[in-house]
Chain A
């Protein structure tokens, strides 16, 4: 999305009435955004920071400017959260496709859910411990699942939130792997 000169001007004015000071503030906030995007494991964090600055400029209304009190970074951070969700959706983790990773073409490819095949492939690519954890984590329903998770947390010397975060990280890995796998599958179908 193109940032209009008017929106950009409004943003600078909001950051500081003095143009030079506004420019410095812009750079300072951009640097903070880059640092945080990096902390989340995003690649091209500077691009995401620029996207955030542009989105803030578009979103900024006169009403907001008038009402705003205090530091301005929080406003950028709130917008950045949604940029981060979008980046996550595009696969923002830097997970490399392992060597020899191939998705076989199937004669019945039309009938088989590609995501499921990619998931199975990606699960096999995971280290044993991670695969066992994620399978156990999602196994069972309701009370059985809760019990499974408690046992798993105890086996791993973790509390439940710790286990949850660990499972989530594996899931992220899986997700990135699946997305890449699907791209490869789509490419191999075309060729």
Chain B
């Protein structure tokens, strides 16, 4: 537009017949001699029609729209087309609300939009499949450390399986043993999971090492039960080297965990001190309520 002689407010006033004669004459002349000015007026005209259809015009504007605006050539026709366009868009909206339609999908243009959506969906599926595979491997093949050495053990024996990041998910944890929920970030930094074998299964003088890095807030241990006897309930006690009980658990139930039948218990990392010896003593509780020690799990805490 030449020197921006027409703004929206003036255009609206012109179209609704509100301008004084001199200004009206100026805009009529401009609209004919300047294609852009004519197009601009048409676009404002279009907006007015749109607002009229949507009921957005003020009462005064609506009156001028009906008495003046629509009396000029082409305006009624434009109004009808705008109404048709609005109805068409409303139909599209209703169609959208009905959900996915195969026909609509194949009518979707351009073709590269369909291709891009399909490719993205396929990529997401592949990522999910890889993630499920990796998670499954983590659960079935946890990191294994032999007691007192770095070599992985061939058999379940005097060993501690350590998984510092997450707990296995094959079986539920009894509510009373369940460690407090931690955020994933916190779990990564301060949770330790370990498998302890009973002393009877530990070879020679080897002692199981339980790595508890400083700052570990929660330790979860899996106490492997290597016994033919089955008890409905178990009790456990954590003692220090002097035999002082530090914590007791009752009503424990055996679960099928990564090591086979085992008990899972959790306690705060602060209970353990570095380079000190501890042991778990596990007792089975018979149906009559009698207790019987079934296994001891000595270990040394290391960083």
Contacts and interface: CB of A to CB of B under 8 A. Distances in A.
Nearest to A169: B39
Majority SS of interface residues in chain A? helix
B149 interface: no
B32 to A, nearest CB: 4
Contacts, number: 92
Interface string B1-36: 000000000000000000000000100110111011
B89 A115 contact: no
B77 interface: yes
A167 interface: yes
Q: Give the size category of A's interface with B.
A: 35 or more
A168 B32 contact: no
Given A74-B29, A161-B40, A85 B89 contact: no
Interface string A166-180: 011101101100100
Contact of A168 (B43, B56, B89): B43
Per DSSP, chain B at the interface is helix
Given A89-B74, A142-B54, A81 B88 contact: no
Given A164-B43, A165-B40, A40 B35 contact: yes
A78 B28 contact: yes
28 contacts: A36-B33, A40-B38, A74-B25, A77-B33, A78-B25, A78-B32, A81-B32, A82-B73, A85-B73, A85-B74, A88-B73, A89-B77, A113-B84, A115-B80, A115-B81, A115-B84, A116-B87, A116-B88, A119-B84, A119-B85, A119-B88, A135-B92, A164-B43, A167-B43, A171-B81, A175-B78, A175-B81, A178-B81
Interface of A: 36, 39-40, 74, 77-78, 80-82, 84-86, 88-89, 113, 115-116, 119-120, 123, 128, 131, 134-135, 138-139, 141-142, 161, 164-165, 167-169, 171-172, 174-175, 178
